[in-house]
Copies of this chain bind each other. A is one copy, B any other.
Amino acid sequence: MSTEKATGQPPHPALLIPGPIELDDDVVQSMSHYAESHVGAPFCNTFGETLSMLRKLFQTTSPQSQPFVIAGSGTLGWDMVAANVVEPGDEVLVLHTGYFADSFADCFETYGIKATQLKAPVGDRPQLPEIEKALTSKKYKALTVTHVDTSTGVLSHLQSLSELLARVSPSTLFIVDGVCSVGCEELHFDNLRIDVCLTASQKAIGCAPGLSIVMCSGRAMESFHNRKSPPGSYYGSFVNWLPIMQNYEAKKPSYFATPPTQLVHTLHATLTQVLSRPLSERFEQHKKMSQKVKKAVADLGLEQVASKPENQANGMTAMYLPEGLTPPEILTSLVKKGVVFAGGLHREIASKYIRFGHMGVSVMDEGRGDIERAIEALREGLAEVQREKGDKS
């Protein structure tokens, strides 16, 4: 159980799922903010600073880059891409590394965009030669990749994809689903020539859930401005939100729909913490702790869903259970030890694996001991469940 501090959170099981994640005490406190006008100077300042900090988090200095922060789940970011950046009749190539590519493809189809998925076997990712073949076979308006698929823990390689696009299809927009990567995996928006990176507040950024965060390049915004048809969403329309985001970033009031003022304060609080140290240190620390987890998992004789080391995410680990054990058995045992892991999400293998999220404060603040305690709980839990099952058989 987490320790109760004078100003801290009540004791509770350590949340080590791939999002939402444990929150820093100050971040938790920042949520209980008194009510404020969404168009008053204090909130405009807070929101403006938050949008500017997002540019730093995404490592973009181009003045053409455009951040959006909208009340919603990360999923809303897909609608914002599908309804604004591409348009009906466009074709997109969706790289599939798990559950979330299927859903993104569904989202595109909802808005009349033809999505072609390039699927790899479970735990792997599509390889460059086949991606090149697809990209040269027809004109794709956009390529999408899930940087880390939360259902499998498979990490995709943005650098090689960016280079491939530059070489064989430079007009194709590069769209990155960074829901489980922004804040824990290296991601340099400008250097990687990313056109849209979307994420959510409740993962490695370390905020509460409830904010959809999207960063667009100048080229993505140009694609939006050059649309022949109006955006396919009202709530997610850039026509409605672009002036609002630009005004807030200039610390000026404007209104389309009421932003979630408390959650914006929370995002401000966590971004202030995240950016107080070089991002490279943050990524290194996530790598280091991920290696620790992955070594412990291997020592327990468990295989990762992401089968090759170069495919393995640094903010989570998806692991197959030993033959005969089910996710509910081990998850229940872990909860009794004060640790919350997640069950499987990828339909083909859901009953065979569990997921361990190691992002944010649990990784950055080693003094909390969250990761060590979770590894120990996993070791003990597996042994206990196996023993109990052995006794019964």
Does A307 belong to the interface (CB within 8 Å)?
no
- Check: A82 CB closer than 8 A to any chain B CB: yes
Quick check: A342 and B259 within 8 Å, CB to CB? no
Residue on B with the closest CB to A20? B35
For chain A, residues 292 to 325, give those with C-beta under 8 angstroms from any C-beta of chain B.
Answer: none
Secondary structure class of chain A's binding surface, majority of residues: loop
Provide the residues of chain B in CB contact with A38, threshold 8 Å. Answer: 20, 209
CB contact list, A1-25 vs B, under 8 A: 2, 9-10, 12, 15, 17, 19-23
Asked if B234 contacts A107 (CB within 8 A), the reply is yes
- The answer to whether A209 and B37 touch (CB under 8 A), given A29-B32, A106-B234, is no
Candidates B9, B32, B82, B262; contact of A210 at CB < 8 Å: B262
Contact of A234 among B75, B231, B340 (CB under 8 A): B75
Q: Which residues of B contact A255 (CB under 8 A)?
A: 345
A202 at the interface (CB under 8 A from B): yes
Contacts A10-B34, A37-B15, A71-B71; A20 near B258 (Cβ below 8 A): yes
Indicate which residue in B37, B236, B260 contacts A235 across the interface (CB closer than 8 Å): B236
Question: Is A243 part of the contact surface with B, judged by Cβ < 8 Å?
Answer: no
Least distance between A372 CB and chain B CB atoms (Å):
19
Chain B residues with CB under 8 A of A30:
32
Which B residue's beta carbon lies closest to that of A200? B258
Would A31 and B32 be within 8 Å (CB), given that A210-B71, A235-B236 are in contact? yes
Residues on the B chain within 8 Å of A28, using CB? 32-34
* A74:B35 contact, CB within 8 angstroms: no
A-B residue pairs in contact (CB < 8 Å), sample of 18: A9-B34, A12-B34, A15-B37, A20-B35, A20-B258, A31-B32, A38-B209, A73-B235, A74-B258, A75-B257, A79-B234, A111-B234, A200-B258, A208-B261, A209-B262, A210-B260, A210-B263, A232-B232
Q: Show the binding face of A for B, using Cβ within 8 Å.
A: 2, 9-10, 12, 15, 17, 19-23, 28-40, 70-76, 78-79, 82, 106-107, 110-111, 200, 202, 208-210, 230-237, 255-263, 335, 340, 342-343, 345
